[in-house]
Amino acid sequence: MKPIHMALTLAGGLLLPQTATADDAGHLLAQSCAGCHGQEGAGVGAAPAIAGISAEDFIAMWAEFQADERPATIMNRIARGYTDEEIAALAAYFAAKD
Ligand code: HEC
């Protein structure tokens, strides 16, 4: 491989999120939840603990928030900003925490 190609490949790997593993993606996405839900979803203040929710339950709750079928002050709006892939990555991330 020519050096310029290698440099482009490396840069692409750093810039494109789809080259990250699902685990990395979940970890990165979860940073935006920590402000309310605490580090690793442990729960603080008004935001419930979300660590340890099974991936299946997490995805079901998320769909309810998106559809306004689950009582919410803020999560209904937050839930709409995520793709299915991102939701799956978040679900796997928090399911693996306790
Ligand atoms: C601005 C604060 C805030 C942020 C940011 C936030 N949440 Fe929430 N979350 C809440 C609150 C408050 C609730 C309780 C429901 C409501 O009032 O909307 C909640 C509820 C939930 C629930 C349901 C828990 C249960 O047992 O009912 C899940 C799952 C959840 N949040 C996941 C997330 C994830 C994942 C992120 C990051 C992508 C996130 N939240 C970001 C405040 C927040």
Over residues 24-77, the pLDDT tens digits come to 889 999 999 999 999 899 998 889 999 999 999 999 999 999 999 999 999 999
CA-based angle 70:74:79, to the nearest 5? 70
Sign of CA dihedral 53, 36, 84, 68: positive
Specify the higher pLDDT residue, 36 or 9.
36
Output the residue whose Cα is nearest ligand 1's atom 22.
50
C-alpha 51/C-alpha 57 separation (Å) is 12
What per-residue confidence (pLDDT) applies to 10? 54
CA dist 18 → 13, 14, 39 (Å):
9, 10, 24
Centroid of ligand 1 to alpha carbon of 37 (angstroms): 7
Q: Which residues line ligand 1 (CB under 6 A)?
A: 29, 32-33, 35-37, 46-48, 50, 53, 58, 61, 72-75, 78, 90
C-alpha 14/C-alpha 36 separation (Å) is 28
Neighbours of 87 (CB within 10 A): 18
How many CA atoms lie within 13 Å of 19's alpha carbon, on the beta-carbon side?
A: 8
What per-residue confidence (pLDDT) applies to 76? 97
What per-residue confidence (pLDDT) applies to 23? 73
* Ligand 1 atom index nearest CA of 29: 38
